[in-house]
Amino acid sequence: MNVTFFGATREVTGSCFLVQTGHWRILVDCGLIQGSREHERHNRAPFPFSPRDLDAVVLTHAHLDHSGRLPLLVKQGFDGPIFTQRATVDLCAIMLEDAAYLQEREAEWENRKRKNPQQREIEPLYDTDDARRTLKSFVPLEYRTPTEILGGVVLTLRDAGHILGSSIAELSLRDGNSSRTVVFTGDLGHRDAPILCDPEPVDKADLVVMESTYGDRLHRPWNETWAEIGEIVRRADSGRGNILVPAFAVGRTQELLYTFHQHFDEWKLGKWQIFLDSPLAIQATEVYARHDKLYDVDARRWQARGAQPFHLPNLKISRSTEDSMRINEIDSGAIIIAGSGMCTGGRIRYHLKYNLWRESAHVMIIGFQAAGTLGRALVDGARHVHLWGEEVEVKAHIHTIGGLSAHADQDGLVQWYGRIKGHPPVVLVHGEPQAMDTLQQRLQATFHSPVTAASFMQVVPL
């Protein structure tokens, strides 16, 4: 029995891990590689295993860096079941079709730009038919319900507290007289985050495959984060500017709307026009509303008193392209929540083009920004960026709200791992090198556990 690491090794995106026993081959996650165009080209590289030979897939959650290559897997011959939490099935139903649509558009755009008729047209990575075929393979599971997914393989999902339906995947493997338990954290959530429950503990394991996104830093306390956002709103109001929020459609957008609802009067949000300008985020918010049984105690109590967590009296839903374009006529008093979260695509790029050059504008960065993305360039202080073929000077105020992260910080990761009996070996994934190395050192110093950082195609025996 072993685990082979095919993604999220010394980088944050592209999670993909293969578990093998004497009888079975089980893939855990199959995510898109995201970042610069150079990074994204790796999505077209052949899988380093045969999709046809896989017996099953386990998906930890719906974010595309964990789920986004599943349609490609199906396109190339995988026809087995995909096991995941029930809410993740509903989120993937919208996210994978949206991803396929974007792949089709990107291929069309690239083919239009090609002037040499001898050049072969490129195909999309996968299309909407591939995405729809993939959705038929999903098998919904509930949390804390051990399920034998293959002979001698029992899967138990636990709430990871990262986004709705996010899971810690516990695989109990039996092969002859040998039995092992390997735990994949997926993405562990930030304790006390709005709406969601805290990451559940795991009792025991023989190996833990653990994310390390924020393994080298600590988040600000929640009260300081709320104060910081309130101050940005006040400053933007005083300077008569707009606030742009590049937001991940699933998770961050819903947390932000919930937070706006809770601080509506305190932050004087009633004087603003608030736009949710992302068709995908609108659909994801509807999924969140349907799965209210997964909320934490505070959100359920609040809802029981008649509150609608994602409804604001001045929230304007922008479904069409025309709705989105009209927002750019507003030069002050608008809070614009739009995807994508790393500014790599979506409607936020248009709003940045119309606002980045304004000294009165503010941009709130509220999530992780991978190397090579436009969002990362803004966080790193770029004074000029390119949007739609034009150079745009950055005069807007750029704010990085690290405390709103959906990922556990270093303390959160260490505390979660510390509750596992015997402190088993750890393999770190889903982190940039500095974050991995820092977390590795702390885990070793605190628990004297064997901790390694995964390398590409590394095989770890169980």
pLDDT tens-digit profile of 113-139?
A: 776 767 788 899 999 999 999 999 999
pLDDT surpassing 90 at residue 286: yes
Residues 229 and 176 in one domain: no
Q: What is the pLDDT of residues 446-459, one digit of tens each?
A: 999 999 999 999 99
Looking at the fold, whether 64 and 193 belong to one and the same domain comes out as yes
pLDDT of residue 84: 98
Of 404, 430, 446, the one marking the end of a domain is 404
Which CATH number goes with the domain that contains 284? 3.40.50.10890
Pick 177 or 143 by higher pLDDT. 143
What mean pLDDT do residues 84-102 have?
96
Rounded to an integer, the average pLDDT of 19-36 is 93
Look at residue 115 in the predicted model and tell me its pLDDT: 66
Residue 77, CB-side half-sphere exposure with 13 Å CA sphere: 9
For position 25, which CATH number holds? 3.60.15.10
Question: Domain range spanning residue 416?
Answer: 2-217+406-461
Query: Average pLDDT over the chain, rounded to whole?
Result: 94
| Last residue within a domain, chosen from 404, 419, 451 | 404
Domain count, the chain: 2
Same structural domain for residues 243 and 162? no
Asked if 379 and 319 sit in the same domain, the reply is yes
28/302: higher pLDDT: 28
> Are 395 and 454 members of one domain?
no
Query: What is the predicted pLDDT for the residue at 261?
Result: 93
Give alpha helix (H) positions in 391-432. Answer: 410-418
Among 370, 389, 404, the domain boundary falls at: 404
209 bridge partner residues: 184, 427
Average confidence (pLDDT) over 372-390 = 92
Stronger pLDDT, 416 or 372, i.e. the higher one: 416
How far is residue 250's CA from residue 255's CA, in Å, rounded to a whole number? 9
- As a whole number, mean pLDDT of residues 251-277 equals 95
Task: Please tell me whether the peptide bond between 340 and the residue prior to it is cis, using omega within 30 degrees of 0.
Answer: yes
